[in-house]
């Protein structure tokens, strides 16, 4: 084990070691720096101690010590978050769930899976797929993110437009409270009207109320067929307008993703892909997928979508012919975020509006860019109105407490609210968005949230400084 660095919590290192073992308590500078950042901008907040427990019982014992001595604890999954939810802003203990990485049981009879939080989302999806089952939520980072982090942020992904987000699949949770007590939040049933819904309170709470140690998820039968089309548009707003019209035609795609041309150019260079021809006359592309069990029905839906698109100045539609071509298109879409960040678009906003308002939001983003002197690229889950906005402003690598960026973001979020939307669709509030909560909520609402936090965490040790 590397040499340790001094920490004000040195008195608690041996008790922590006695719980999880000496090999799973870290205070060396290299490890602390590795866990000091996630994918949020260019922020760095080193913890004092990193602990990697293996069981619920170990986490409970750690929390009892931390609660008794008021040591801050930041739960962390894979570190793929984009709102700073896993950043240990106040130091203390960084509690990693990476060793809780077992799929405990796939219940084929009841279409359920019980898993630990440190399982990679795609690994879980592949495991249930082998049984003919389907777990739809699929964030772009599904190949690396943990299912526990998805629970914390109420993640979505491309398939949310048809299948919903994480909260729609969580039946029951085992949770370690900040006091070290262990509870189950619900029951492994599809209907439950017994008391307050603690399960849904924990989902999306960003690790501020408790640490999830076991998860029971609802599954679906896996659809037999998927068809995919790529649609170029000469006008970005037209691409947004076409989205709403497809739904008005009575079709619910399994995915409908928007990527504007600047983002496509960046990601194509980044992964050295020629899957999509770059044409400067094209402003944006829609990736549209339909799925189901009857191929003939899906072909009819594709024809109907094509007919709708004729009225929106779109170019030649590409139908993905084989699995390799589909995989290449999805690879491009899923790598956009990391590609544009590497290109200097370090500030990301996760806005969502009613899908019919998407053209207005896109137009507003471009106008705000001119007004506040920033460049922006847009991409995201157009089918549910969730637009990711990546911002590049010379000299600004981050938005946190940045006076050069805050006025622009407040203007953006005020616009989002005026369109009937909100400031986060799937990335959460975390650290970087909390200063804008007043735009969305009254003081009474925020005080109510703070009251709930106080009940769960009277000493404010669990992921302090997040959300509000």
CB-CB contact of 233 with 246 (8 Å):
no
Please tell me whether residues 216 and 108 are part of one structural domain: yes
Please count the CA atoms within 13 angstroms of the CA of 111 that sit on its side-chain side.
12
Please give the Cα distance from 55 to 83 (Å, whole number).
27
Residue that is last in its domain, among 65, 96, 127: 96
Residue 271 domain-assigned (yes or no): yes
Residue 62 domain-assigned (yes or no): yes
Average pLDDT over residues 267-296: 94
Residue that is last in its domain, among 322, 337, 352: 337
Residue 457 domain-assigned (yes or no): no
CATH (domain of 331): 3.30.70.2190
Please tell me whether residues 113 and 75 are part of one structural domain: no
CB-CB contact of 139 with 157 (8 Å):
yes
**Predicted pLDDT of residue 2:** 40
Please tell me whether residues 19 and 41 are part of one structural domain: yes
Please tell me whether residues 108 and 215 are part of one structural domain: yes
CATH (domain of 354): 3.30.70.2740
Q: Is the pLDDT of residue 288 over 90?
A: yes
Residue 158 domain-assigned (yes or no): yes
Q: Which string of b and e fits 329-355 if b means at least 16 CB within 10 Å?
A: bbebbbbbbbbbbebbbbbbbbbbbeb
- Show the domain range for 188: 103-221
Please tell me whether residues 290 and 399 are part of one structural domain: no
What Rg value do the Cα atoms of the chain yield, rounded?
A: 22
**Predicted pLDDT of residue 7:** 75
Task: Give me the number of domains the chain comprises.
Answer: 4
**Predicted pLDDT of residue 8:** 87
Please give the Cα distance from 94 to 52 (Å, whole number).
9
CATH (domain of 56): 3.30.43.10
Using DSSP bridges, classify how beta strands 112-115 and 25-26 pair: parallel, antiparallel or unpaired: unpaired
Residue 373 domain-assigned (yes or no): yes
Please give the Cα distance from 186 to 196 (Å, whole number).
9
Please tell me whether residues 275 and 377 are part of one structural domain: no
Please give the Cα distance from 286 to 233 (Å, whole number).
8
The pLDDT tens digits of the residues spanning 416-460 come to 999 999 999 999 999 999 999 999 999 999 999 999 999 999 999
pTM: 0.94
Residue 90 domain-assigned (yes or no): yes
Please tell me whether residues 252 and 186 are part of one structural domain: no
Residue 44 domain-assigned (yes or no): yes
Please tell me whether residues 375 and 407 are part of one structural domain: yes
Please count the CA atoms within 13 angstroms of the CA of 295 that sit on its side-chain side.
2
Please tell me whether residues 388 and 303 are part of one structural domain: no
The pLDDT tens digits of the residues spanning 374-407 come to 999 999 999 999 999 999 999 999 999 999 999 9
Please give the Cα distance from 441 to 458 (Å, whole number).
23
Sign of the CA dihedral 289, 290, 295, 297?
negative
The pLDDT tens digits of the residues spanning 312-362 come to 989 999 999 889 999 999 999 999 999 999 999 999 999 999 999 999 999
Please give the Cα distance from 214 to 217 (Å, whole number).
10
Residue 451 domain-assigned (yes or no): no
Residue that is last in its domain, among 337, 362, 377: 337
Q: Predicted confidence band at 1 (pLDDT cuts at 50, 70, 90)? A: very low
Please tell me whether residues 212 and 250 are part of one structural domain: no
Please tell me whether residues 209 and 118 are part of one structural domain: yes
Please tell me whether residues 123 and 160 are part of one structural domain: yes
CB-CB contact of 87 with 128 (8 Å):
no
Q: Report CA-CA distances (Å) from 408 to 206, 373, 399, 413, 441.
A: 26, 9, 10, 9, 19
> What is the maximum alpha-carbon separation in the chain?
69
Q: Is the pLDDT of residue 243 over 80?
A: yes
* Orientation of helix 56-69 relative to helix 13-20, angle to 10°: 170
Which has the closest alpha carbon to 46: 62, 25, 23, 30? 30
CATH (domain of 127): 3.30.465.10
The pLDDT tens digits of the residues spanning 88-135 come to 999 999 999 999 999 999 999 999 999 999 999 999 999 999 999 999
CB-CB contact of 407 with 52 (8 Å):
no
Q: Predicted confidence band at 5 (pLDDT cuts at 50, 70, 90)? A: low
Length of the chain equals 468
């Amino acid at each position: 084990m590397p040499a340790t660095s001094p920490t004000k919590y040195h008195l608690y290192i041996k008790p922590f070691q006695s719980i999880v073992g000496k090999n799973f308590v870290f205070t060396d500078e290299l490890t602390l720096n590795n866990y000091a950042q996630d994918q949020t901008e260019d922020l760095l907040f080193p913890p004092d101690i990193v602990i990697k427990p293996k069981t619920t019982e170990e986490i409970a014992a750690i929390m009892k010590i931390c609660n008794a001595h008021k040591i801050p604890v930041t739960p962390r999954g894979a570190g793929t978050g984009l709102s700073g939810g896993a950043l240990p802003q106040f130091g203390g203990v960084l509690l990693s769930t990476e060793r809780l990485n077992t799929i405990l049981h796939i219940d084929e009879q009841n279409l359920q899976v019980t898993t630990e939080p440190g399982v990679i989302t795609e690994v879980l999806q592949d495991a249930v797929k082998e049984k003919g089952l389907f777990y739809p939520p699929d964030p772009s980072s599904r190949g690396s993110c943990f299912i526990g982090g998805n629970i914390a942020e109420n993640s979505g992904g491309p398939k949310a437009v048809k299948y919903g987000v994480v909260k729609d699949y969580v039946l029951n949770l085992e949770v370690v409270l900040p006091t070290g007590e262990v509870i189950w939040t619900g029951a492994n049933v599809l209907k439950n009207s017994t008391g307050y819904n603690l399960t849904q309170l924990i989902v999306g709470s960003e690790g501020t109320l408790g640490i999830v140690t076991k998860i029971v998820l609802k599954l679906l039968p896996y659809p037999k067929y998927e068809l995919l089309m790529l649609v170029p548009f000469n006008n970005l707003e037209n691409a947004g307008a076409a989205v709403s019209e497809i739904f008005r035609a009575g079709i619910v795609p399994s995915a409908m993703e928007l990527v504007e041309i600047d983002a496509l150019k960046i990601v194509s260079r980044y992964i050295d892909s020629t899957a999509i021809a770059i044409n400067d006359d094209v402003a944006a592309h829609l990736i549209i997928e339909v799925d189901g069990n009857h191929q003939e029905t899906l072909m009819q839906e594709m024809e109907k979508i094509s007919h709708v698109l004729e009225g929106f100045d779109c170019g030649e539609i590409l139908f993905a012919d084989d699995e390799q071509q589909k995989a290449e298109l999805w690879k491009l879409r899923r790598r956009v975020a990391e590609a544009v960040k590497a290109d200097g678009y370090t500030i990301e906003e996760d806005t969502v509006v009613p899908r019919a308002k998407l053209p207005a939001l896109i137009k507003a983003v471009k106008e705000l860019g001119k007004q506040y002197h920033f460049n922006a690229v847009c991409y995201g889950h157009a089918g549910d109105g969730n637009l990711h906005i990546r911002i590049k402003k010379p000299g600004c690598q981050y938005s946190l407490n940045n006076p050069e960026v805050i006025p622009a973001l407040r203007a953006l979020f005020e616009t989002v609210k005026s369109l009937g939307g909100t400031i986060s669709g799937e990335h959460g509030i975390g650290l970087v968005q909390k200063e804008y909560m007043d735009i969305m909520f009254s003081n009474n609402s925020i005080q109510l949230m703070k009251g709930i936090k106080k009940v769960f965490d009277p000493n404010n040790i669990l992921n302090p400084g997040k959300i509000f």
